[in-house]
């Protein structure tokens, strides 16, 4: 592994250490995937994971190729102390709005952990309702090792769900776009209309 990767890893770990050293005990990182998609669920993950040399590649999931994310997904699950995911589907997103749906998914993920953390670092500006001390970290997946690990778990979990949905809803290209607003996806919506998996509350000028 390059010295650059090692330096990045140490920076992410040091960020978490600043909170762990405060006497709060176990630290969990929380992140979501799918908040900005036009179709499919929003998925949140919570991860409690001690630094390990096998996890030097862990960073913001958006900066990692799909194949490496899949590899790291399995590795994080193997090495972590606990992980959990929360999922809120498109119908519920339409009913309560995407922000509230994201907070619910994050809360589900935190409550699903088999180990109780003393503190939770949450990517973004908003915090889910929880009895555990929580800290919002803007762009946390690029600052915190634990949040970066959670970003990978959330992203791969959701991507796998959307690959299954590609077979259930052929023609929309979900295996490639994962429900996001690509040119291919917009053209499919114009041609085929909106499917049940689409978020009806998400309006753009390109929707039919």
Tens digits of residue pLDDT in 6-18: 899 999 999 999 9
Sign of the dihedral through C-alpha 31, 36, 42, 43 = negative
Query: What is the reported pLDDT for 204?
Result: 54
Q: What is the mean pLDDT of residues 107-115?
A: 97
Query: If you average pLDDT over residues 69-89, what whole number do you get?
Result: 97
Count other C-beta atoms under 10 Å from residue 95's C-beta: 12
pLDDT in tens, 118-132: 999 999 999 999 888
Say yes or no to pLDDT of 205 above 70: no
Please spell the DSSP secondary structure of 64-127, one letter per residue. S-HHHHHHHHHHHHHH-SEEEEEEE-HHHHHHH-HHHHHHHHHHHHHHT-SS--SEEEEESS--
Band of residue 24 on the pLDDT scale cut at 50, 70, 90: low
User: What is the spatial distance between Cα 157 and Cα 122, in angstroms, rounded to a whole number?
Assistant: 18
Judge whether residue 21 has pLDDT over 80: no
- Residue range 38-52, pLDDT digits in tens: 999 999 999 999 888
Q: In the prediction, which pLDDT does 123 show? A: 98
Residue 131: what pLDDT? 83
Catalogue all structural domains in the chain, each as residue range(s) with its CATH number: 3-192 (3.30.420.10)
Q: pLDDT value at position 25?
A: 75
């Amino acid at each position: 592994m390059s010295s650059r990767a090692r330096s990045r890893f140490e920076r992410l770990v040091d960020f978490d250490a600043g909170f762990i050293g405060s006497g709060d005990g176990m630290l969990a990182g929380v992140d979501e995937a799918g908040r900005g998609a036009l179709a499919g669920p929003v998925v949140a993950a919570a991860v409690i994971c001690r630094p390990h040399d096998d996890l030097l590649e862990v960073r913001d999931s958006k900066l990692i190729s799909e194949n490496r994310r899949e590899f790291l997904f399995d590795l994080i699950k193997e090495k972590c102390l606990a992980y959990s995911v929360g999922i809120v589907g498109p119908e519920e997103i339409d009913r309560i709005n995407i922000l509230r749906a994201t907070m619910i998914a994050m809360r589900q993920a935190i409550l699903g952990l088999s180990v109780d953390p003393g503190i939770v670092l949450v990517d973004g500006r908003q915090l889910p309702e929880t009895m555990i001390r929580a800290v919002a970290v803007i762009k946390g997946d690029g600052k915190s090792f634990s949040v970066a690990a959670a970003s990978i778990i959330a992203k791969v979990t959701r991507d796998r769900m959307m690959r299954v949905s590609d077979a259930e809803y052929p023609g929309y290209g979900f295996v490639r776009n994962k429900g996001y607003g690509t040119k291919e996806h917009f053209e499919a919506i114009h041609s085929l209309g909106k499917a049940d998996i689409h978020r009806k509350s998400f309006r753009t000028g390109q929707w039919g």
